[in-house]
Amino acid sequence: MTESDHRASDHRVSSAPQPQFLVEPWCVREPELRLDRLAQSESVFALSNGHLGLRGNLDEGEPHGLPGTYLNSFYERRPLPQAEVAYGVPETGQTVINVTNGKVIRLLVDDEPLDVRYGRVHFHERLLDMRAGTLSRDVEWTSPAGRRVKVTSTRMVSLSQRAVAAICYEVEAVDDPVRIVLQSELVANEALPDLGKDPRASAMLEQPLISEEHMSNGHRVVLVHRTRESGLRMAAGMSHEVTCPDAADHALESLPDIGRLTVATRLKPGERLRIIKYMAYGWSSQRSRSALNDQVVGALAAARQTGWEGLLKEQREFLDEFWEGADVEVDGDAEVQQAVRFALFHILQSGARAERRMIPAKGLTGPGYDGHSFWDTETFVMPVLTYTYPHAVADALSWRHMTLPLARERAGQLGLSGVAFPWRTIRGQECSGYWPAGTAAFHINADIADAVVRYLDATQDERFEREVGLEILVETARLWRGLGHHDVEGVFRIDGVTGPDEYTAIVDNNVYTNLMARRNLCEAADTAMRHPDVADRLGVTTEEAASWRDAADRMRIPYDERLGVHPQCDGFTDHARWDFAATKPDQYPLLLNVPYFDLYRKQVVKQADLVLALHLCGENFTPEQKARDFAYYEALTVRDSSLSAQTQAVVAAECGHLELAHDYLGETALMDLHDLNRNTRDGLHIASLAGAWTALVAGFGGMRATRGDLRFAPRLPGGISRLAFRMRYRGNLIKVTVTGETATYELLDGPGLVLAHHGTEFHLEKDPVERDIAQEPAPAPPCQPTGREPIPRRMDPHDRSRRRVR
């Protein structure tokens, strides 16, 4: 299986399936249970805090699309078989595993198990509340024997108590007295479904956990397991509070792979049995069984002391503070309004309590991409967190810093200086088995450095700069200085690399890579100058820093004078164009239906590459160059990746194509709520979700931030009448409100700062500042490859040319 098989086989369909969730501003509501879409809803309804993740499986455990409980960075090793032995290609991979499941609460009604596939479901609704941080469920069900019950449950993964999750489960008799048996379980080594041949699916490992200890004591059960190959140890525990109107029998037991509390009672019509289930999880590669057991017991004790209502209160307070600095309001497009809050909620969940662990491409919502972290995190997810919840960025980048020894070892293996961060990983080792789209994609090193620079600019966190940031910048600069070379004319070249577009591999002077490397080199030199004592400890000499500046000053940036555009890399615009008219819809994604050889030698773009440079390195292009470059690459980009639409939205908006930008916003924002790529079952596309915020704030808000210069150039499409967003920058909390004619800037907290509106600076203090937005004529719309146009968000009756079935 190739690297691109894992990463690029996302593909759109011309008409999305009918959405299964109601459109509401602050929640995601599923008004009926759809068993054919169960796996998608499990991903959408996943709860996490960055340390612990629970897929939105039904309480009973069955039926399920894909069961899942995950601990960040808890993985198993597996072999990476290669067709041919090659030096430097990894032989071992890492796969996130489904750990002990504590979500299961089975219910028997007069000996009949509650199973939605049997009996009669009168009502079934689930609701993800993005302000409360909870998943609730209401069910009314009649058993095959005619006994009717109501069940309500509320589930949470605590954002305030990192190791803790909790469930409140209630069952009520409706028409007749019933005998109720409730079984609350911890289950290890669950049987997983066969996911077929989908290359995006995780490499599932059967029976990955070996029992080391199991114990039950009073109201508590704890199971301790370790992995067979990676040697990681985990513990899971549960504790309960049971309330019922009459006497109930209790039985608590533990076995190597299961812990169970059984409660039996009788309920009269209108009476309820209520159980509060507290769960706690911990893992370590070093701590002993007894230490992990004690950690879980302690977490359970803290949860019980806080209580269910206390946990809910802490959760709401945490989220209230987050939304105060992160909320986005969208008038005119209700689907996007819901989607951007859904996106922000899941992005927060992916990193809020990761605490020096990675942020995977799927977060902790599913096993897709084997649970790996890629460049997605630094390039697409961290910008959102930098301006809304920067603490999580510091943690995630600190994890990268902790893996520097492994990255340094990898660079040495490749014969390079500095560090070579892995293309895909869980623990820090390279896990990409396809080197043209993995090892050769060296731009990930500049992406990580850029995330460091962006965080430092937004927070002015000097301690982080000295202890973490500078070393990352120095070691990545050393990589670029050794990877590139000065040619006979003194121009600095970076040859034989792969940029973001994996349909154009092993190329010379990829523009995006070279521009990001240039920034990396300059920032490393500047930061070393600010902290000479740290730089000296890292062995940075004056001559070395000067060589970085020289390489940056002489960096080759290809330009095609004949066409008046920047080629994606040397020679790209000389290649033959892909024959899009002859490509059938079912041939997308191309990488699964045509040879790589053909892709690599044609002008066809998998995802934004040169256009990503227009966004992230926009200061290197004139407005005229951006317009020409964007139009040229629009006609070549097929978006066989969920990462592309957000970048195209931002640059489309900057170039004046506001309606097209709105279309791309819809694609990135609704990727999972509408299951556009038909693979949300494997987990959410966290980077694509981040694109909802990016397309709105950087696209229609025109937000750019560099070295203390925070500027905006807002303009709205016809389908959005008002946009308001909040963001944090250098100790300030600001709110920007945009309508069709004006933009209003408010300082909600902080000392004040200088902003720019469409190039004109002003000082924002306690009084709001309102500025007019000049109206500009829309340029001629660019063309996309045949059949690859985004689905329109707004239909113009005078322009039928862009109408498509939605």
CB 82 within 8 A of CB 207: no
| Two tokens, residue 27 | 């929640």
Within the chain, how many helices (H) and strands (E) appear?
20, 33
Query: Which helix H or strand E contains 526, and what residues bound it?
Result: helix 511-530
For residue 257, the SS3 value is: coil
Q: Kind of pairing, strands 704-706 and 709-712? A: antiparallel
- Number of C-alpha atoms within 13 angstroms, CB side, residue 635? 14
SS3 labels along 630-695? HHHHHCCECCCCCCHHHHHHHHHHHCCCHHHHHHHHHHHHCCCCCCCCCCHHHCCCHHHHHHHHHH
376 belongs to an annotated ligand binding site: yes
How far from 10 is each of 101, 199, 545, 732, CA to CA, in Å?
Answer: 29, 10, 42, 38
Instruction: List residues with catalytic annotation.
Output: 502
CA-CA distance, 550 to 778, in Å (whole number)? Answer: 41
Q: Which residues contact 280 (CB under 8 A, 6 or more apart)?
A: 163, 164, 165, 236, 237, 238, 295, 296, 297, 299, 300, 303
CA-CA distance, 568 to 2, in Å (whole number)? Answer: 23
784 belongs to an annotated ligand binding site: no
Please confirm whether the linkage preceding 500 is cis (ω < 30° from 0): no
CB 424 within 8 A of CB 3: yes
CA-CA distance, 234 to 292, in Å (whole number)? Answer: 7
CB 455 within 8 A of CB 442: no
SS3 labels along 316-346? HHHHHHHHHHHCEEEECCHHHHHHHHHHHHH
Q: Within 10 Å of residue 247's Cβ, how many Cβ atoms?
A: 8
The DSSP letter of residue 92 is: E
CB 724 within 8 A of CB 328: yes
Q: Which positions make up the binding site for substrate? A: 375-376, 606-607
Q: Which positions make up the binding site? A: 375-376, 606-607
